[in-house]
């Protein structure tokens, strides 16, 4: 869908997913790393537990479909090459804090003046301007500030160990980018897409903790949302009928409250996740088991739908299987098309396409910029 | 301000799932016309009490057409012909059952962008499983992730799929603008969740899954790292210390208490090994502070810290206010309602949505007249014949 769109991905972790998504839609995404590689690639777990940035699972998954170069655009001698790369690109993604952003020449008014067609996507914890613009924030801090911590019952709030803000910012930044490209097609002008991780969390997040959702099964956990949404009445009715099958009076009272919760809890607690999941599916009850990774890769629906793709990694003498796509279309291919690049693997071809010759590259190498 | 990006673009939404509503909401904000077809009386997001909450579906035109009637099908097909995008949030097979199968719609309008979204996608042995955000997140493996001392998971209920639906609509509109074709896109909510967690779902073929580890973000390696109590009712602060330089800054902020200067807290790996003791010490210190004061002090010391906020606190948040996240919209019946903007701003683009019609069917007459060119007598005759109720 996005073939012909050229993307320079200068980002750290908050932008990696956005780049992967654009690549899976057909864009030509070039991951730009500082010479020596990204800090975040030095994060485990690693393929076969061999510590090596090119075996980082985060790298192998989130750089899938991209090409890669090394380049330090903050070195004074690199300014011309930097401008050539920015001119080559339709889209630039970065997640720099403000001092580094300035070193890269990525102040919003500057990119707008020097590269008016460029769509410049910036991903920061709180956005580029405003009272918290210079605040530090990791995944946990922005989740807290955006309303994303989990509150259930009278326990202290708990955090989700998955980086929700980053997972949301991936598709949301990619959305902002395609919207800005749509505007650019009409006006010829790009502009800034200013993504705030805090705001990605705040947007569309319901008030936490009202209905009871998680229940203990005999061998794990299941999710059934016990609340009075009219559209779900049928599900609760069917569940109570199922309870009634196990004996008179076992379906609990009609109204939602502690007694019904108790009846459900003992029903769930006496059965396995598999029994509950299969029974619910047959009865049209929106109850599901909370899967772990092992249960997922074996999931019959995901297997039938061929969600997982295998990529060969000759340099690692291995292959990996990963979730290949986020949707399917009758019109265009969607999904990962090539393995993650090795560090700097496409240096020459990308620089040549951007009009940066061999002599210039040698100069940049001498200055430590590549 | 520039013209809204999607001025003149029309989207039809079948069903009233929160996923469809959130997805089309991104485009309503940028000027698209979004028409929701509500075949049967049901309680959609618009009817939920927006008091204290946020209207999920600003900018919708609400049309009642009974898809079980011949007149209703003819009207729906004519609306589809005049639309750019159709979002099908109904259970798989429902539209086809009404005679509105994807192939038929695309035959009728070859450049149509039709997106179907359901828990498990349009095909496969479990395509009929019921559910929404929370169920999809649980299946995808989000729910067991939140950590807590008693070991019980809590629902993550994370609405990732609307963002993917919106992204796909945006990419498809861009492709079409550049001369591309129409398409039917099939989104499985579970698959968007699994894809998002891809890093933790990798394995070697026939080998174990990525070391069987729970999904963790980079900063889960930090120590201290957690939610700590503050002075006041339900007052909590998130603090995350990424390296030893940060730790020194936190020590200075705490006034170098004796317990914290013990060698077992000197480096990050060791702090992680003694996390329970570390957290107890930090909590004993944070407990005496008002949360916002503590956040300001820690941020001024260069530390990542943020107050746990929900509802009212979010609505007062000065940063979200600066970004214009919450937008108050005039509403003829409720006086005013609050809608919210997406997580990003595009240069020069203001929020272009208006309040929704609060009631189902409210806009049926206007939409049929304006978009299909029917006159009031024709509309009245259709209603009398039972094309909607």
Q: What pLDDT digit, counting tens, does each position of B143-194 carry?
A: 555 444 445 566 666 679 999 999 999 999 999 999 989 999 999 999 999 9
* C-alpha to C-alpha distances, A197 to A133, A142, A344, nearest whole angstrom: 11, 6, 29
| B5, B140, B175 member nearest A183 (Cβ) | B5
Sequence-ordered strand ranges (E) for chain B: 10-14, 33-37, 60-63, 85-88, 113-118, 183-188, 225-229, 236-240, 304-307, 326-331, 335-340, 344-346
Is the pLDDT at B283 greater than 60? The verdict is yes
Which A-chain residues 320-359 have CB contacts (< 8 A) with chain B?
320-323, 325-332
Whether residues A288 and B139 touch (CB distance < 8 A) is answered with: yes
Query: How far is it, in rounded angstroms, from Cα A192 to Cα A183?
Result: 12
CA distance B299 to chain A (A): 6
Contacts of B314 in chain A (CB under 8 A): 146-147, 202
The nearest alpha carbon in chain A to B208 belongs to: A294
| B121, B174, B240 member nearest A178 (Cβ) | B174
Residue B158 has a pLDDT of 64
Which A-chain residues 273-312 have CB contacts (< 8 A) with chain B?
281, 284-297, 299-302, 304-305, 307, 310
Q: Please tell me whether residue B31 adopts helix, strand or coil conformation.
A: coil
* C-alpha to C-alpha distances, A68 to A27, A241, A249, A370, B73, nearest whole angstrom: 14, 58, 65, 12, 51
Of residues A170, A173, A189, the one with CA closest to residue A181: A189
- On whether the CB atoms of residues A243 and A252 are closer than 8 A, the answer is yes
Is the pLDDT at B320 greater than 80? The verdict is yes
Contacts of B223 in chain A (CB under 8 A): none
| pLDDT greater at residue B103 or residue B19 | B103
Contacts of A138 in chain B (CB under 8 A): 217-219, 222, 240, 242, 304
Which A-chain residues 238-267 have CB contacts (< 8 A) with chain B?
none
Over residues B188-206, mean pLDDT: 86
% helix / strand / coil in chain A, to the nearest 5?
40, 20, 40
**ipTM metric:** 0.93
| pLDDT greater at residue B142 or residue B286 | B286
Over residues B363-368, mean pLDDT: 91
Of residues A342, A4, A367, the one with CA closest to residue B171: A4
CA dihedral B210, B211, B213, B215 (to 10 degrees): -20
Contacts of A133 in chain B (CB under 8 A): 319
Of A15-19, B27-31, B204-208, the poorest mean pLDDT is in B204-208
Q: Which two tokens stand for residue A27?
A: 């864009």
Query: How far is it, in rounded angstroms, from Cα A358 to Cα B339?
Result: 54
Residue B195 has a pLDDT of 94
| B164, B194, B310 member nearest A307 (Cβ) | B194
CA distance A114 to chain B (A): 16
| pLDDT greater at residue B62 or residue B11 | B11
Pairing mode of beta strands B183-188, A328-329: antiparallel
Residue B43 has a pLDDT of 44
Interface probe, candidates B189, B282, B346, B353, chain A, greatest A C-beta count within 10 A: B346
* Peptide bond just before A278 cis, omega within 30 deg: no
Q: Is A211 exposed, middle or buried (0-12, 13-18, 19+ CB in 10 A)?
A: middle
Whether residues A296 and B141 touch (CB distance < 8 A) is answered with: yes
- On whether the CB atoms of residues A35 and A211 are closer than 8 A, the answer is no
- On whether the CB atoms of residues A24 and A335 are closer than 8 A, the answer is yes
* C-alpha to C-alpha distances, B31 to A252, A333, B38, B211, B371, nearest whole angstrom: 49, 29, 22, 46, 17
Q: For B356, which DSSP code?
A: P
Q: Which residues have a Cβ under 8 Å from the Cβ of B351 and sit 6 or more positions away?
A: B29, B324, B327, B339, B341
Q: Please tell me whether residue B256 adopts helix, strand or coil conformation.
A: coil
| pLDDT greater at residue B331 or residue A103 | A103
Q: Which two tokens stand for residue B293?
A: 């004061």
Q: Which two tokens stand for residue B196?
A: 């998002």
pLDDT band at B210 (very low <50, low <70, confident <90, very high): low
Contacts of A285 in chain B (CB under 8 A): 130
Contacts of B219 in chain A (CB under 8 A): 138-140, 163
Pairing mode of beta strands A6-9, B85-88: unpaired
Average pLDDT of chain B?
87
- On whether the CB atoms of residues A198 and A135 are closer than 8 A, the answer is no
Q: Is A228 exposed, middle or buried (0-12, 13-18, 19+ CB in 10 A)?
A: exposed
Give the phi and the psi of residue A108 in degrees, each rounded to 5: -60, -40
Q: Which two tokens stand for residue B304?
A: 């990542």
Low-confidence ranges of chain A (pLDDT < 50): 230
Q: Which two tokens stand for residue A6?
A: 């050229």
Q: Is B269 exposed, middle or buried (0-12, 13-18, 19+ CB in 10 A)?
A: exposed
- On whether the CB atoms of residues B356 and B60 are closer than 8 A, the answer is yes
């Amino acid at each position: 869908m996005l073939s012909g769109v050229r993307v320079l991905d200068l980002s750290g972790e908050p932008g990696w997913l956005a780049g992967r998504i654009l690549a899976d839609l057909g864009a030509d995404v070039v991951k730009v790393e500082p010479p020596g590689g990204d800090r975040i690639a030095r994060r485990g777990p690693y393929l076969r537990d061999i510590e090596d940035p090119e075996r980082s699972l985060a790298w192998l998954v989130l750089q899938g479909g991209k090409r890669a170069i090394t380049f330090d655009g903050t070195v004074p001698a690199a300014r011309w090459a930097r401008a050539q790369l920015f001119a080559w690109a339709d889209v630039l993604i970065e997640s720099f804090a403000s001092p580094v952003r300035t070193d890269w020449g990525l102040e919003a008014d500057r990119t707008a003046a020097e590269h008016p067609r460029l769509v410049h996507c910036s991903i920061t914890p709180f956005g580029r301007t405003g009272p918290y613009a210079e605040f530090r924030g990791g995944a946990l801090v922005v989740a807290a500030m955006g309303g994303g911590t989990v509150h259930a019952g009278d326990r202290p709030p708990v955090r989700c160990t998955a980086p929700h803000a980053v997972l949301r910012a991936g598709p949301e930044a990619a959305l902002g980018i395609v919207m800005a490209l749509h505007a650019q097609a009409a006006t010829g002008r790009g502009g800034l897409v200013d993504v705030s991780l805090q705001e990605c969390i705040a947007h569309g997040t319901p008030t936490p903790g009202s209905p009871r959702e998680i229940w203990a099964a005999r061998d794990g956990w299941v999710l059934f949302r016990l609340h009075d949404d009219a559209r779900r009445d049928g599900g609760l009715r069917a569940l109570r009928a199922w309870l009634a099958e196990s004996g008179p009076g076992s379906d609990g009272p009609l109204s939602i409250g502690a007694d019904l919760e108790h009846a459900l809890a003992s029903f769930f607690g006496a059965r396995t996740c598999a029994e509950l999941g299969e029974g619910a599916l047959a009865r049209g009850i929106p109850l599901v088991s909370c899967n772990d990774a092992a249960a997922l890769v074996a999931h019959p629906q995901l297997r039938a739908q061929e969600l997982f793709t295998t990529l060969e990694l000759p340099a690692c003498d291995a292959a990996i299987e990963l979730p290949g796509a986020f949707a399917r279309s009758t019109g265009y291919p969607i999904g990962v098309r090539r393995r993650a690049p090795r560090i700097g693997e496409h240096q020459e071809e990308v620089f040549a396409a951007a009009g940066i010759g061999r002599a210039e590259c040698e100069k940049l190498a001498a200055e430590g910029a590549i | 301000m520039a013209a809204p990006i999607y001025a003149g673009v029309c989207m039809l939404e079948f069903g009233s799932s929160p996923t469809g509503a959130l997805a089309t909401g991104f485009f309503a904000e940028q000027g698209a016309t979004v028409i929701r077809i509500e075949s049967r009386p049901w309680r959609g997001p618009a009817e939920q009490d927006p008091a204290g909450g946020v209207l999920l579906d600003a900018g919708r035109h609400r049309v009642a057409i009974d898809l079980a009637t011949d007149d209703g099908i003819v009207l729906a097909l004519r609306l589809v012909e005049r639309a750019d995008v159709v979002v099908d949030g109904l259970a798989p097979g429902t539209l086809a059952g009404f005679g509105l199968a994807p192939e038929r719609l695309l035959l009728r309008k070859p450049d149509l962008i039709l997106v179907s979204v359901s828990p498990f996608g349009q095909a496969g042995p479990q395509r009929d499983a019921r559910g929404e955000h929370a169920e999809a997140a649980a299946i995808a493996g989000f729910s067991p992730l939140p950590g807590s001392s008693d070991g019980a998971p809590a629902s993550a209920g994370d609405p990732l799929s609307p963002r993917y639906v919106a992204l796909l609509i945006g990419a498809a509109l861009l492709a079409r603008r550049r001369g591309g074709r129409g398409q039917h896109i099939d989104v499985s909510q579970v698959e968007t969740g699994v894809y998002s967690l891809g890093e933790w779902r990798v394995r070697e073929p026939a080998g174990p899954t990525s070391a069987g580890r729970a999904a963790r973000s980079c900063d889960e390696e930090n120590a201290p790292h957690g939610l700590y109590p503050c002075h006041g009712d339900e007052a909590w602060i998130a603090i995350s210390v990424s390296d030893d330089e940060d730790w020194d800054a936190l020590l200075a902020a705490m006034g170098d208490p004796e317990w914290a200067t013990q060698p077992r807290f000197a480096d990050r790996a060791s702090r992680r090994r003694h996390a329970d003791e570390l957290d107890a010490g930090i909590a004993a210190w944070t407990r005496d502070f008002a949360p916002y004061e503590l956040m300001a002090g820690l941020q001024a010391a260069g530390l990542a810290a943020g107050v746990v906020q929900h509802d009212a606190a979010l609505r007062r948040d000065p940063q979200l206010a600066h970004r214009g996240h919450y937008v108050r919209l005039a509403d003829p019946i409720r006086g005013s309602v609050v809608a919210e903007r997406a997580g990003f701003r595009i240069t020069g683009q203001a929020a272009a949505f208006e309040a929704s019609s609060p009631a189902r069917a409210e806009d049926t007459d206007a939409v049929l007249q304006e978009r299909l060119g029917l006159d009031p007598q024709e509309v009245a005759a259709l209603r009398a014949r039972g094309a909607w109720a």
